[in-house]
Structure 1
């Protein structure tokens, strides 16, 4: 059957032709025994040839699709390998030699090198995601957004630039942010320490004052979440306000101390009475420590004011009596 041509090798073709030949001989014998006419015989042979061609065409089409798919897989693998080399900046890595053999052999040759690069990319992606997440977290803390961690967007890694140079840039940025964070934390601690000392001197409740800046600042764990410019500005304003109040009270106490001294001297007040307000009269000295706990409490000022007022009234009463004796 010369019409049945095949691309298979000679041995396979011979086996096929032998099998078909036996079957054709058997068919011829059956036809002879039946007495089948030539027209019917030719029709059957034509049908057989058509069916055989259809089977071959399906096999050839399938083989063509497999070949095209393998060509595409080889091209995609080579393109992916090149892209990974560029994105990882690993151009010094040896490329697998392009083979001229079968497509499956070409694909098998590039597959191990491609898998190794894919593993390296996955590890590099993990490094980028870790450092970028830390940058995002600290940036949010510095910006005062750490209370809303759930609203922070997911980290997006640029897969087109996974070079070590880019990773080092992110790591340097992270170091800078860590230094900025530590500096801000130190400033917050110093502000709180200053507020506590000033509050103690002024006889105020430091926790209430700090809570007005931000409730969590009374808890050490809250410091790491409140270091924004807004918080630092409010802490600075609070310290300035307390220092201004301290200066005002010092001036009041010194004026009251001077008034007391004058009144005591004028009225020859006994030492035992003066001793009760020695802490007030002593405030007139510039070397006096005015930072001791409660030394500038409002209660002390009120007591001193009340004493000055009492002495003023006593002085007025004595002067009035003297005037009466005179006349």
Structure 2
């Protein structure tokens, strides 16, 4: 329980009277005149006032520092709320009536720590989605790499922004699936052409500047790989037509 201010004041008054009584005894023993006593009492009172004023100024400065700290923490919390797209009014309900300034400071510090945890968790979600987007785009075009394009804008960590980013990821995942389907289709077409022409599939794809065939479970779906497969298919189709034309000419004796 906090000490009673009246009791504190009583103790100060009692100590004050005791010291004055002791000083009065010394003055009487020394033989100070009443005029000197009055003069020294005035000096003593002035020194006490100066001391009290210094203590008041220090207390005022400390109070101002706490208020400034509270205002700074409030601004940080509002910034976090704004970046996460949340309303800023509910968080401070009850904090202003938490009691003393120190109690308010402790309460708002705890609230800021809570908000920072929430922000870090939201930021981690953004980073996870962004990493998946970067990985898929790297599969599409391995040469292009600009990490600045994949930095997270921490000023907008709203649920809406996260949902938009997740939609981008979903669209890229669908495109990746479509590319895989097309690559498999091209590979099957290429194998069929090789079989018709009596060519080895491995030899036919050996000189391709791409990695579209399976390699330890990996299948390239890059733009270059798809173009390589399309070019290879067009070349083999041309070879097939040329052979068909040659066979026709031979059949008809041309």
Greater CA radius of gyration, 1 or 2?
1
Query: How is 1:224-303 mapped onto 2 (pairs within 5 angstroms)?
Result: 226-259=220-253
The whole-number CA distance in structure 2 between the counterparts of 1:153 and 1:205 is: 44
Residues 100 and 106 in structure 1, CA contact (< 8 A), matched pair in contact too: yes
Residues 144 and 227 in structure 1, CA contact (< 8 A), matched pair in contact too: no
Residues 81 and 87 in structure 2, CA contact (< 8 A), matched pair in contact too: yes
**TM-score (norm. length: structure 2):** 0.76
**Which residue number in structure 1 is paired with residue 129 of structure 2?**
131
Residues 210 and 225 in structure 2, CA contact (< 8 A), matched pair in contact too: no
**Which residue number in structure 1 is paired with residue 18 of structure 2?**
22
Please list the CA deviations of residues 260-310 of structure 1 after superposition, one character each: whole Å capped at 9, or x if unmatched.
Answer: xx9xxxxxxxxxxxxxxxxxxxxxxxxxxxxxxxxxxxxxxxxxxxxxxxx
Query: How is 1:43-58 mapped onto 2 (pairs within 5 angstroms)?
Result: 52=48, 55-58=51-54
Offset of 1:120 from its aligned partner? Answer: 2.8
Offset of 1:129 from its aligned partner? Answer: 1.6
The whole-number CA distance in structure 2 between the counterparts of 1:67 and 1:103 is: 8
**Count of aligned positions:** 248
Q: CA 1:100/1:131 → structure 2, altered by over 3 Å: closer, same or farther? A: closer
Moved more, 243-252 or 211-220: 211-220
Instruction: Find out whether 1:190 has 2:149 as its counterpart.
Output: no
Give the one of 176, 181, 191 matched to 2:176: 181
Provide structure 2 residue ranges, at least 5 long, that are not aligned to the other structure.
none
Residues 140 and 221 in structure 2, CA contact (< 8 A), matched pair in contact too: yes
**Which residue number in structure 2 is paired with residue 322 of structure 1?**
none
Give the one of 177, 199, 207 matched to 2:202: 207
What CA RMSD, in Å, does the superposition of the two structures yield over aligned residues?
A: 3.7
Offset of 1:110 from its aligned partner? Answer: 4.6
Q: CA 1:249/1:214 → structure 2, altered by over 3 Å: closer, same or farther? A: same
The whole-number CA distance in structure 2 between the counterparts of 1:92 and 1:27 is: 61
Moved more, 185-194 or 207-216: 207-216
Secondary structure of 2:18's counterpart equals: helix
Moved more, 62-71 or 213-222: 213-222
Residues 84 and 121 in structure 1, CA contact (< 8 A), matched pair in contact too: yes
The whole-number CA distance in structure 2 between the counterparts of 1:92 and 1:81 is: 8
Residues 141 and 228 in structure 1, CA contact (< 8 A), matched pair in contact too: yes
Secondary structure of 1:213's counterpart equals: coil
The whole-number CA distance in structure 1 between the counterparts of 2:130 and 2:167 is: 11
Offset of 1:194 from its aligned partner? Answer: 2.3
Query: How is 1:132-171 mapped onto 2 (pairs within 5 angstroms)?
Result: 132-145=130-143, 152=147, 155-171=150-166
